Structure 1
Amino acid sequence: MTDTAARRYSTGAMIFHWLIAILVIMNWRIAETAEHLEGADKLVVFGYHKAWGMLILALTVGRLLWRWSHPVPPLPSGLKAWEAKLARTVHVIFYVLLVALPLGGWLASSYGGRPVDFFGMFTIPVLPVGENKDLSKSIFDAHATGGSIFIYLIGLHILGALKHTFIDKNGGIFRMLPFGKA
């Protein structure tokens, strides 16, 4: 294994990373669009948001299984202690949000008595929690707040990758790409 390969994530990790990243950003935009709609149109667009969220959850489970079975490269040398701690903390929060946001959305939908249609292929049933419209709304509000936090953390993550790549010149972004010097 070359020195660069030892510092680079595996191909599977890269595929999971970029696929989930694209879907999360896309799904955030879908939710933002739905917020500005009314009536049946709003429900249809939020239906897609929920289906994509469940796909993100399934991919995240796959990504976690992959991560536990494939070694993660070490952080770039030369990071300050606070940078390494921040990087690890943000990654943990990412995984928590990648699981909690879809589960929270499913739970809120379940309290609202609404199953999740998965792109017309099948229906994900409501969880056995009974209906509680007030609790459904509260969980959806928390879900929206969590989504906003997630977007800000994605911005921080992107800024960190760019800083490490172009200012520190330690190959930051190339650790998650199949090209370039990691």
Structure 2
Amino acid sequence: MADTTARRYSIGAMIFHWTIAVAVIWNWRLAENAHHTDDRAQAMAIFADHKALGITILVLTVGRLLWRWTHPVPPLPSDLAGWEKALARTVHVIFYVLLIGLPLGGWMANSLNGRDIDFFGLFTIPALPIGTNEDLGGTIFDLHALGGSIFIYLIALHILGALKHTFFDKNGGIFRMLPFGKVPG
């Protein structure tokens, strides 16, 4: 049940949001850098960090979902049009699907290719017990890349929406997810 008196997200929700946001953008840049290097060893090292950060994003997302289910979220601003509310909810659902599906898909594709995941040199995450199938692993890697591209476009849409609501609609927009700034009552 949403707390209809709260206008901002909780500090915990803010920490999860911004930590995951930075991690996702960083992880996208890692993948881009790996794809654009001509040195195979360097690309593999970058992808190792990409995979470890992906697992970190998965764990943070599970934590964020647990937080969300146990802490009320503020209602959407009342001045939003019906289509804006529907779009906001849809994009958020897709975000969660991608935040869980992309890391799991990457882990699955690595597993199908017989690879463990090195977690920043601290420990190894074993391959999922699903056998090997390099063709299927390659297909999942392709879907993973497509999902990552879709995610970046949705992030841009999310940022544009937050800026629109902050500076044009003046309904609090981005300040709902920051501990400062004005959120109108």
Q: TM-score, normalised by structure 2?
A: 0.95
**Which residue of structure 1 lines up, in the alignment, with residue 9 of structure 2?**
9
Structure 1 residue runs of 4 or more that deviate by more than 2 Å after TM superposition: none
SS in 2 for 1:149: helix
Greater percentage in helix = 1
**Offset, 1:39:** 1.7
- What whole-Å deviation, never above 9, does each CA across 1:126-158 have from its counterpart, x for those lacking one? 001111111111000000000000000000000
In structure 2, list runs of 5 or more residues that go unmatched.
none
**Offset, 1:176:** 0.0
**Offset, 1:108:** 0.2
**Which residue of structure 2 lines up, in the alignment, with residue 161 of structure 1?**
162
**Which residue of structure 1 lines up, in the alignment, with residue 124 of structure 2?**
123
SS in 2 for 1:55: helix
2:98 is equivalent to residue 97 of structure 1? yes
The letter for the 2-side match of 1:8 is R
The letter for the 2-side match of 1:58 is V
* Inter-partner Cα distance in structure 2 for 1:78 and 1:39: 52
**Offset, 1:166:** 0.3
**Which residue of structure 2 lines up, in the alignment, with residue 52 of structure 1?**
53
Provide the alpha-carbon RMSD of the alignment: 1.3
Aligned residues: percent identity?
A: 72
* Inter-partner Cα distance in structure 2 for 1:56 and 1:98: 7
- What whole-Å deviation, never above 9, does each CA across 1:18-65 have from its counterpart, x for those lacking one? 000000000000000000123211111100000000000000000000
* Inter-partner Cα distance in structure 2 for 1:146 and 1:126: 21
